[in-house]
Amino acid sequence: MMVKYTALKEDDGRTYIVPLQDDEIKVKGLGRFSPNQILSESKHGDRVSIGQKMLTIVKSGLPELRKGMRRRAQIINPKDAGFLLAWMGIGSGQRVLEAGHGSGGLALHLANVLGSNGTLVSVENRPEHAEVGRENMQRAAGSLDEFPSWSLLEGDVGNVSFDGIVEEFDAIILDLPEPWDVVSKLTPWLRKGGRLACYCPVSSQLESAWRACEEAGLQIDWAGEMMERIWTKASRGGVRPGNTPMGHTAFLLIAEKR
C-alpha cells in the first residue's frame, strides 16, 4: 500500500515532508519521531511540537514538495517550469518524456498537472541522482490527489527504449548538458503537433540545440529567457523590487513537430 505524506512547516517557511507511518523516522532538522504518534489525531492547520520546534501541519502540495525536496542536481524552478508547461500545452492525460530527471524538480511540476490518466517517463543516467529523484517522486505520489503513471528509466536517454510504455509523446523536455546529441533520435517519438524543449544554461547550448532541432525537422516555436523580479516590503512602508539581482537560470528553446 502506498505511504501517504504530509508537510510540516516552520514559521520561517522551512518545510519537511514526512511519511504518515508508525515506525520512527529521522528527519534532518527535526530529529527522531514516530509520525503517526504525533500526527494521527491532527488536521491541516494544527500546530505540533517536535523536538525544540513548533510546526504547522499542511497538505503537501507542489510548493511544499518543492521546498521540502531532497536535492542533488540543480533543479528547474517554477519560473521556467511554469512557462514550459504553459507554452508546451502540457496538461491532464498527456504523455511526457523528461531527461535528465536529476532530483525531480521539473518532474514534480509535471506530475502535478498530468493527472492519473497522464504518463510521465523520466530518464536519468546517474544512479545517485535517480535515487534522490525517486524519493522525491514517491513523496509526490503519496501527497498529490492525482498522480500519473510514472516510469524512471536509468540510462542514457539516447539508448533507452520506450517500447511497451508509450507509442509516442505529446511533449519532450531535455535538461541535459548536450541535448543536441539526442534530438534527432527522440524526434520520431514525438507526435505531430507535439513540442520538444531544451533547457540551456549557456548560450552556446542554446545555439547548438537550435541547430539540432532544425536539422531534425522541428520548427522553433519560442526561444529566449524568462526574467523574474521579486518585490519585497520596504522598511519605511510600501513595496518595491528587492535588492536581489535578477538571476539567470537558463535559455529555453521550444520547437514544434509539424
Ligand X SMILES: C[S@@+](CC[C@H](N)C(=O)[O-])C[C@H]1O[C@@H](n2cnc3c(N)ncnc32)[C@H](O)[C@@H]1O
Q: Which of 176, 200, 250, 254 binds ligand X (CB under 6 A)?
A: 176
CB of 253 closer than 8 Å to CB of 197: yes
User: How many CA within 13 A on the CB side of residue 6?
Assistant: 20
Q: Which of 9-17, 34-42, 94-102, 142-150 is the region at the interface with ligand X (rule: CB under 6 A)?
A: 94-102
User: Would you state the cell numbers that stand for residue 4, as one nine-digit string?
Assistant: 501517504
Q: Are 60 and 7 in contact (CB under 8 A)?
A: yes
Region binding ligand X by CB under 6 A among candidate stretches 12-20, 96-104, 218-226, 245-253? 96-104
Site string for ligand X, 142-171 (x = CB under 6 A): --------------xxx-------------
Q: What x/- string results for residues 30 through 49 when contact with ligand X is judged by CB under 6 A? A: --------------------
- Select 100 or 148, whichever has its Cβ closest to ligand X: 100
CA distance 111 to 96: 10
Phi, psi dihedrals of residue 233, rounded to the nearest 5°: -85, 130
The strand ranges marked E within the chain are 5-9, 15-19, 25-27, 31-33, 47-50, 53-58, 95-99, 119-124, 149-154, 169-174, 190-200, 219-224, 231-233, 239-241, 251-256
Of the two residues 30 and 125, which places its CB atom closer to ligand X in the complex?
Answer: 125
Q: According to CB under 6 A, which one of 9, 14, 67, 126 is a site residue for ligand X?
A: 126
Using the rule CB under 6 A, is 100 a contact of ligand X? yes
What minimum distance in Å lies between the beta carbon of 158 and ligand X? 6
State which of residues 125, 143, 187, 205 lies at the interface with ligand X (CB under 6 A): 125
The yes or no reply on residue 172 touching ligand X (CB under 6 A) is: no
Selected from 5, 124, 190, 216, the binder of ligand X by CB under 6 A is 124
Taking the least distance from each CB to ligand X, the nearer of 55 and 130 is 130
Least gap, CB of 121 to ligand X (angstroms): 12
Burial-class residue 14 by CB neighbours within 10 Å (0-12, 13-18, 19+). Answer: middle
Binding mask 62-91 for ligand X (x = CB under 6 A): -----------xxxx---------------
Phi, psi of 160 (to 5 degrees): -75, 160
Burial level of 197, CB count in 10 A (0-12/13-18/19+)?
buried
State in angstroms the smallest separation of the CB of 27 from ligand X.
21
Cβ-based neighbours of 161, under 8 Å, separated by 6 or more: none
Tell me the site size for ligand X, rule CB under 6 A. Answer: 22
Does the footprint of ligand X cover residue 250 (CB under 6 A)? Answer: no
Q: Are 56 and 9 in contact (CB under 8 A)?
A: yes
Q: Given the C-alpha cell 535517480, which residue does it identify?
A: 130
Chain residues in the site for ligand X (CB under 6 A): 73-76, 99-100, 102-106, 123-126, 129, 156-158, 175-177
